[in-house]
Every structure is written in C-alpha cells, then in structure tokens.
Amino acid sequence: MITIIAKLQSREGKESEMLAALEKMVAAVSTNEPEVSKYELHQDLENPTIFYFYEQYDNDEALKSHGVSEHMKQLGTDLKGVAGARPEITRVTWIAGIDR
C-alpha cells in the first residue's frame, strides 16, 4: 500500500474554482483508476484556500499511472490561474491507527 498526502492551495477568491476542479478529479479517479483504494479530498477549516488529498494506491504501478493519466493532465490545465502555489506531495508509511 502506498499513501500520499497532497497539499494544494488556491489563490484567494478562487476557492470555489479549485474545489470544482478537485471534485472533478475525484470523480475521474473513481471511474478510471480501480487500483486506487482511497482518494479523499479535504479542505482546511482555518484556511479555505488549502485543500488536501489523502490517497492510497495498491502498488507503484497504480501511482505511476495516476501521475500520467489524462485526468491528471486536465487537472493541471484546470488549475492554471487558480492555484496559488505548487502542490506539496508527501509519501508516507502507515504505522498504526484505527479504521471503524
């Protein structure tokens, strides 16, 4: 299992456009990427310009395929003029927790 936390930030006043593009991405991943076991979108409660993806991939190939997918390319286009910073991508290893 591969886990990614991606932080994206919109320009001020562009939050709704960012949200629409990211929700479109979630739908595309859900439809086209069966080896993505989790792809969750979150928004920061204190700073609404900040969004996070929590992503889990079955294997390295699934992660690589995601990165070069047509919907990833489209997201890059959709975020031009909307994103306020480059995405911050962090790969993490699960250690412990609960899932109820």
Of residues 72, 79, 73, the one with CA closest to residue 18:
79
Summary mean pLDDT of the chain: 96
Query: What's the confidence (pLDDT) of residue 99?
Result: 82
92 vs 22: CA distance, rounded Å: 21
**Cβ–Cβ under 8 Å, residues 56 and 37:** yes
Q: Say which DSSP state 83 is in.
A: B
Share of the chain above pLDDT 90, in %: 96
So what CATH class is 2-92? alpha beta
Specify the residue for token string 């294997």: 59
Q: What is the secondary structure of 26-63 as a DSSP string? A: HHHHHHH-TTEEEEEEEE-SS-TTEEEEEEEESSHHHH
Query: What's the confidence (pLDDT) of residue 24?
Result: 98
Query: What's the confidence (pLDDT) of residue 89?
Result: 97
Section 27-51 average pLDDT: 97
Question: How does pLDDT run across 47-96, given as a tens digit for each residue?
Answer: 999 999 999 999 999 999 999 999 999 999 999 999 999 999 999 998 99
Query: What's the confidence (pLDDT) of residue 3?
Result: 97
